[in-house]
Amino acid sequence: MRKGRKSELFSPQDKLIFLVENTKEYVIIVLDTKGKVEDWNKGAEHLLGYTQREIVGKNFSRFFTPEDRKAKRPENELKKAIQEGKGEDENWLVRQDGSWFWASGMTTPILDKVGNVIGFAKIVRDLTDKREIQQQQEDFISIASHELRTPLTIAKLLRDALGKHLKQTKDIEGIAYFEKISHALNQLDTLLRDLLSVGRMQTGKVDYEKEEFSLWDLTQDIVEEVQQTTNSHHIEIHGTKSARIYAYKPQISEVIINLLTNAIKYSPNEKKIIVTVSSAKKFVTVSIQDFGIGIAHQSIEKLFDRFYRTPLSREKGVPGVGLGLYISKKIIENHKGTLGVKSTVGKGSTFSFTLPFLSKRISSL
């Protein structure tokens, strides 16, 4: 009875205020238009270590690392919130005692009735534990893929020698086993290449330079190479021969190989694959069309996520791990381009990437 009467004293609004003030898992900070703290909740005190009195009136930039302050990250966060309606980010933040934590945050502008920005609300969550687990997984993938590279290279060399020997001795049964081993080694090779690329992407380290080259020549060379690995498909190539770009050539090769091998893998009953290179005034596009299993509409938005595989490809038992498209998209976006797909289930898919048609001089400006 007493309990019931007590809760009647709280309106839904009071309950919301109580929740915001007392929640410990989320930091909620109210900033003025310049980024000075106007108010904050218990969670902020708990996570950042300042009392309300110590922090009100101070600029929120003090929560950022010295590097981020130098790079004007706090100012940019507020600008982004105004321009895009919200700013989301993950980065290190600094507590009062100088220790750091990995924060996932969102900043939203607070508007008055006529739409003027009168301040900001910043919500932050501590994700240090999640970040550490992610880091351990990334380190493991990177070490494992490097360590597997050498024995795999040796196995491939021995495979080639064994292949020659079996052909000379005309050992039919041996050749059948050899082909199975060879197929498995190729799958392992693709998987390792993908894992190494993911590792490189995370560290941002590459051991080659950007160069200017013909996208037509590169695509044609890759089409010829891939054609030699398959009897089941015929790859046609059409288009503009003049398309030159300035890019990391090994990375662009990787994208084309990924898309072409997918086109083959996911069209087991159709022969034809069409590759088109086309150029507009400022952009050059490579499209790879297959007539295979296709991709359901609801799978398209997840297609470029790490480890995503469509239910259809699992059903059909096509082998893969779901890294190639994730890597390809990152590579193309790092070159300021776009990668997309159009597809119909049962009719096939066309993957296309577009890159700025840049000369060395322009892209290095």
Give the range of 32-40, 81-89, 104-112, 286-294 binding ligand ADP by CB under 6 A.
286-294
- Provide, rounded to whole angstroms, the least separation between the CB of residue 234 and ligand ADP: 16
State the nearest-atom distance from the C-beta of 264 to ligand ADP, in Å: 9
Listed in order, strand segments (DSSP E) in the chain are 26-31, 37-40, 87-94, 100-111, 117-126, 211-214, 234-239, 244-247, 272-279, 283-290, 338-344, 348-356
Give whichever of 64 and 326 is closer to ligand ADP, judged by the CB atom: 326
The residue (of 313 and 354) whose beta carbon lies closer to ligand ADP is: 313
Do the beta carbons of residue 145 and residue 190 sit within 8 Å? no
Interaction residues for ligand ADP, span 307-346 (CB under 6 A): 308-310, 313, 320-326
Pick from 40, 50, 246, 266 the residue near ligand ADP by CB under 6 A: 266
Half-sphere exposure (CA, 13 Å, Cβ side) for 285? Answer: 15
Rounded CA separation 20/172 (Å): 74
> Which of 349, 354, 357, 358 is the binder for ligand ADP (CB under 6 A)?
349
Nearest approach, Cβ of residue 342 and ligand ADP (Å): 11
For residues 222 to 241, the per-residue mask of contacts with ligand ADP, x marking binding by CB under 6 A and - elsewhere, is: --------------------
Closest CA to 37 of 22, 25, 19, 54: 54
* 63 versus 326: smaller Cβ distance to ligand ADP: 326
In the numeric block, which tokens belong to residue 244? 């030159």
Instruction: Write down the least CB distance from residue 102 to ligand ADP, Å.
Output: 27
Q: How far is the CB of 315 from ligand ADP (least distance, A)?
A: 10
Give the residue among 88, 126, 79, 83 at the shortest CA–CA distance from 107: 88
How far is residue 155 CA from its own chain's centroid? Answer: 31
Q: Based on the shown chain and the rule CB under 6 A, indicate whether residue 258 belongs to the binding site for ligand ADP.
A: yes
CA distance 313 to 340: 18
CB nearer ligand ADP, residue 235 or residue 323? 323
Q: Which two tokens stand for residue 1?
A: 């009875």
* Rounded Cα–Cα distance for residues 327 and 307 (Å): 10
Distance CA 142, CA 137 (A): 9
By beta-carbon proximity to ligand ADP, the closer residue of 239 and 320 is 320
Size of the site for ligand ADP (CB under 6 A): 22
Radius of gyration of the chain (CA): 27
- The secondary structure of 162-197 as a DSSP string is HHHHHHHHT-HHHHHHHHHHHHHHHHHHHHHHHHHH
Give the nearer residue to ligand ADP in terms of CB position, either 291 or 357: 291
Minimum distance from CB of 308 to ligand ADP (Å)?
Answer: 6
CA distance 338 to 14: 48
35 sits near ligand ADP (criterion: CB under 6 A): no
State the minimum distance, in angstroms, from the CB of residue 338 to ligand ADP: 17
DSSP, res 61? G
Nearer to ligand ADP, 107 or 262 (CB): 262
Q: Decide whether 94 or 256 has the Cβ nearer to ligand ADP.
A: 256
Tokens of 60: 């929120």
Residues that bind ligand ADP (CB under 6 A): 258, 262-263, 266, 290, 292-295, 303, 308-310, 313, 320-326, 349
